[in-house]
Amino acid sequence: MQAIAQSPMGTNTVGMPDAGSENKGPEKKFRAGAVAATIWKNDRQRATGETFSYYTISLDRSYKDQAGNWKTASSMRLQDLPKAALVLNESYRYLTLNGAQADEVVVE
């Protein structure tokens, strides 16, 4: 799941034109038990034609429902918090060691 949903007119929900319609997978995923942080690289194009990239990080927890099907949730339980801190720290470390600037990273 990407952080910015696409609208039908070729712009994202913050009104910026899409850089392309290519659906990319995640850049990197860190997992600790049921908790995962997924790093997404987002390519966008300004109205001036300039393209730029920024990163978003999604945090989720996997669980099985009553029917035994795997689901994900963005809410965390108390015992998930140390794992969430670990995967978020690893995400930050990965991005900073690979040259991402702080203003290019959005945690959701």
Tens-digit pLDDT profile for residues 86-104: 999 999 999 988 877 665 5
Token pair of 55, please?
């990163």
Whether 49 is covered by a domain: the verdict is yes
Contact 104, 53 (CB under 8 A): yes
Total domains in the fold of the chain: 1
pTM here? 0.69
Whether 6 is covered by a domain: the verdict is no
**Per-residue model confidence as pLDDT tens digits over 29-71:** 999 999 999 999 999 888 888 888 889 999 999 999 999 999 9
Q: What is the extent of the structural domain holding 92?
A: 28-107
Whether 1 is covered by a domain: the verdict is no
Contact 19, 41 (CB under 8 A): no
Q: Following DSSP, what letter does each residue of 17-82 receive, concatenated?
A: BBS-------SEEEEETTEEEEEEEEEEE-TTS-EEEEEEEEEEEEEE-TTS-EEEES---GGGHH
Whether 67 is covered by a domain: the verdict is yes
Whether 22 is covered by a domain: the verdict is no
Whether 9 is covered by a domain: the verdict is no
